[in-house]
Amino acid sequence: MGGIVVIKTGIASIESAYNAEYGGRQYKNCISLGWFCGVASSMGRHGLRNCSGPFDWYFSDFESVLKLMETDFNDFMARKNLSVDANDPKIFNDKKYGFLCNHDIQNDFETEYEEVYQKYMRRADRFLQDTKEPTCFIRAVRSEQEILYIEESRNYIYDVIKKRNDNNEIIFLLLNRMKELPNSFLWFRLGCEQYVRKTFEMRMMFETSERFSEYCRKNILSPDCIKQNKEFDREHFGIDNKISMLVYNLDFYDIEPELRKTYPDLEQGIYLFGAGTYGEIVSLYLIKKGIILKGVIDNNPKKQGGLCNGIPIIPLSQIGNERQNICITISDKKREEIEKQILEKHPDAVILTLRNIIERLQERGIVF
d(CA 4, CA 355): 38
Instruction: Residue 31: name the closest of 48, 7, 18 by CA.
Output: 48
**Cα separation, 298 vs 281, whole angstroms:** 15
First to last CA, the chain: 21
- The C-alpha atoms of residue 213 and residue 263 are separated, in whole angstroms, by 37
* pLDDT exceeds 80 at position 5: no
Q: Is 180 helix (H, G, I), strand (E, B) or coil?
A: coil
d(CA 126, CA 54): 9
**Residue 13: what pLDDT?**
30
8 A C-beta contact, residue 278 and residue 327:
no
pLDDT at 24: 52
Nearest Cα to Cα of residue 211 among 178, 171, 253, 157? 171
pLDDT at 271: 97
Task: State the pLDDT at residue 236.
Answer: 84
Name the pairing type of β-strands 307-308 and 311-314: antiparallel
Q: What percent of the chain has pLDDT over 70?
A: 93
Give the mean pLDDT of 164-192: 94
So what's the pLDDT on residue 3?
33
What is the bridge-based pairing of β-strands 311-314 and 293-297?
Answer: parallel
Say what angle helices 62-70 and 144-152 make with each other, to 10 degrees. Answer: 40
pLDDT over 60 (residue 17): no
> What per-residue confidence (pLDDT) applies to 367?
81
Say how many C-beta atoms besides its own lie within 10 A of residue 50's C-beta: 22
Q: In the chain, where does the domain assigned CATH 3.40.50.20 lie? A: 245-363
207-234: per-residue pLDDT in tens? Answer: 999 999 999 998 899 999 999 999 888 8
Residues of the chain with pLDDT > 90, as a percent, come to 79
Residue 236 CA to residue 214 CA, distance in Å, equals 24
> Is the pLDDT at 11 greater than 80, yes or no?
no
Q: Which distant-in-sequence residues (6+ apart) come within 8 Å of 208 by Cβ?
A: 1, 3, 190, 191, 192
pLDDT at 16 over 50: no
Q: Which fold has domain 245-363?
A: Rossmann fold (3.40.50)
Amino acid letter, 62? F
Q: Are 222 and 202 in contact (CB under 8 A)?
A: no
Looking at residue 245, its pLDDT comes to 87
Reported as a single tens digit per residue, the pLDDT across 65-111 is: 999 999 999 999 999 999 999 999 999 999 999 999 999 999 999 99
Q: pLDDT at position 15, please?
A: 35
- The answer on pLDDT for 6 being more than 80 is no
pLDDT at 25: 64
Contacts 24+ apart (CB under 8 A), 97-106: 97/60, 97/61, 97/64, 97/67, 97/68, 98/60, 98/61, 98/64, 99/58, 99/59, 99/60, 99/61, 99/64, 100/58, 100/59, 101/57, 101/58, 102/58, 102/59, 103/37, 103/57, 103/58, 104/57, 104/58
CA 334 to each of CA 273, 274, 330: distance values in angstroms, whole numbers, following the listed order: 11, 11, 7
* Average pLDDT over all residues of the chain: 90
pLDDT band of 12, cuts 50, 70, 90 = very low
CA–CA dist 32, 51 (Å, integer): 11
Q: Looking at per-residue confidence, does 233 or 136 come out higher?
A: 136
Q: Phi and psi dihedrals of 346, rounded to 5?
A: -135, 75
Q: Is the pLDDT of residue 172 over 70?
A: yes
Asked if residue 341 has pLDDT above 90, the reply is yes
When pLDDT is cut at 50, 70 and 90, the band that residue 303 belongs to is very high
Residue 28 pLDDT > 70: yes
Q: What is the mean pLDDT of residues 323-340?
A: 93
Rounded Cα–Cα distance for residues 266 and 318 (Å): 20
Question: What would the mean pLDDT of 61-66 be, rounded to a whole number?
Answer: 97
